Structure 1
Amino acid sequence: MDHSDVRRVRLVPWSEGDLWLLRRTNSPEMTEHLGGPEPEERLLARHRRYCALSSGRMYRVTLADGGETAGSIGYWEREWRDGTVWETGWGILPEFQGRGLAALAARALVDVVREAGGHPALHAFPEVDHAASNGVCRKAGFTLLGQADFEYPKGHWIRSNDWYVDLRAGLSG
């Protein structure tokens, strides 16, 4: 993937008006690898967390030409192994899937997180059998470290791959 391709997407900081996007992505197909749809009160709580993130940030992924919202991506702190790292996650709306937009957004996010500083690595933890998200990690230049077990959401254990980008290295790409 050509690094200049990231210009096909824009990362727009999450705002109060973006609750609709959480509701759109709260479908069985979009949450299959995340424990299923959440009740409205949990969506509202998550939206408030997204708006108030002080360490990290959530974004709407928009198309550069036209400005249509294609999904979301973000990063936040996670305690992992022997320290604190950045973690990322994303969701692309069904009508925009299959176009490589998640990988473009992830590459753009790596640059944002590298510039923000704070931690030496950005990790993604897609479920082992989630082929699309693992493909995003591969295409976005993440390195596979191995597998790990996670409880997400609470009470739901998943086996995930641990993908990472060394943020101390040069520019992504």
Structure 2
Amino acid sequence: MDLVRIEPWQERDLGLLRRINTPEMKRHLGGPESEEKVLARHRKYVDFGGTGAGCMFRVVGLPEGEAVGSVGYWERVWRGATVYELGWSILPAYQGRGLATAALVAAVAQARARRRHRHAHAFPSVDNAASNAVCRKAGFTLLGETDFEFPPGRLMRSNDWRLDLTAGVG
């Protein structure tokens, strides 16, 4: 049985983004953003799907059909190559059920179907045990620790997890 369904980000998802933008949810990501930045991020997420450079999704928990978080992929240049970066957030009430891993696997399938880049990366904080476990469960390979800029202007110590998007593709 599927645990989640992912749906492209829409106008109606602003409330979900606000629920994600809390001190608890953003403790490994530099803290909550201002309302102005949340509105700008929401606009970017809504407009992003049509660019071909990636997509943000709302994560819908099944069978209830409740919005439980977000997941997405986008292009970035990493160590001289263009790759997809992936990120996710699952609301606290829904954590610990495997939903983040299921959402990440679904987003990877979407990225893989584009056949645009060989690798996908995720960069959770070295202190974020749950997100690092999600990477491992989703089949990513740990390449090691790195300094990673997020949010812009702030370096954080992250793990660099990589997945070969061409593996198993004919």
Q: Same fold (TM over 0.5)?
A: yes
Instruction: Pick the TM interval, shorter chain.
Output: over 0.9
Seq. identity, %: 59
Q: For residues 28-47 of structure 1, what are the structure 2 equivalents within 5 Å?
A: 28-47=23-42
1:52 is matched by which residue type in structure 2?
A: D
Q: Does 1:58 align with 2:56?
A: yes
| Deviation >2 Å, runs of 4+ | none
Structure 1 unaligned residues grouped into runs of 5+: none
Q: Does 1:105 align with 2:100?
A: no
CA separation in 2, counterparts of 1:95 and 1:64?
14
Over residues 11-47 of structure 1, what are the superposed CA-to-partner deviations in whole Å (9 max), with x where a residue is unaligned? Answer: 0110011011110011100000000010000001111
Q: Does 1:84 align with 2:79?
A: no
Question: Secondary structure at the residue paired with 1:45?
Answer: helix
Q: Which residue of 1 aligns with 2:72?
A: 74
1:170 is matched by which residue type in structure 2?
A: G
Structure 1 residue 151: Cα displacement: 1.7
1:126 is matched by which residue type in structure 2?
A: P
Q: Does 1:12 align with 2:7?
A: yes
- TM-score, normalisation: structure 2: 0.94
Structure 1 residue 155: Cα displacement: 2.7
Over residues 95-127 of structure 1, what are the superposed CA-to-partner deviations in whole Å (9 max), with x where a residue is unaligned? Answer: 000111101111111111111121101110001
Q: Give the length in aligned residue pairs.
A: 166
Over residues 30-81 of structure 1, what are the superposed CA-to-partner deviations in whole Å (9 max), with x where a residue is unaligned? Answer: 0000000100000011111111111100001112312111110000001101
CA separation in 2, counterparts of 1:68 and 1:135?
24
Q: Which residue of 1 aligns with 2:43?
A: 48
Over residues 137-156 of structure 1, what are the superposed CA-to-partner deviations in whole Å (9 max), with x where a residue is unaligned? Answer: 01111110111111211232
Between 110-119 and 95-104, report the one with greater CA deviation.
110-119
Question: Secondary structure at the residue paired with 2:88?
Answer: strand
CA separation in 1, counterparts of 2:18 and 2:67?
13
1:72 is matched by which residue type in structure 2?
A: S
Question: Secondary structure at the residue paired with 1:115?
Answer: helix
Structure 2 unaligned residues grouped into runs of 5+: none
Q: Which residue of 2 aligns with 1:125?
A: 123
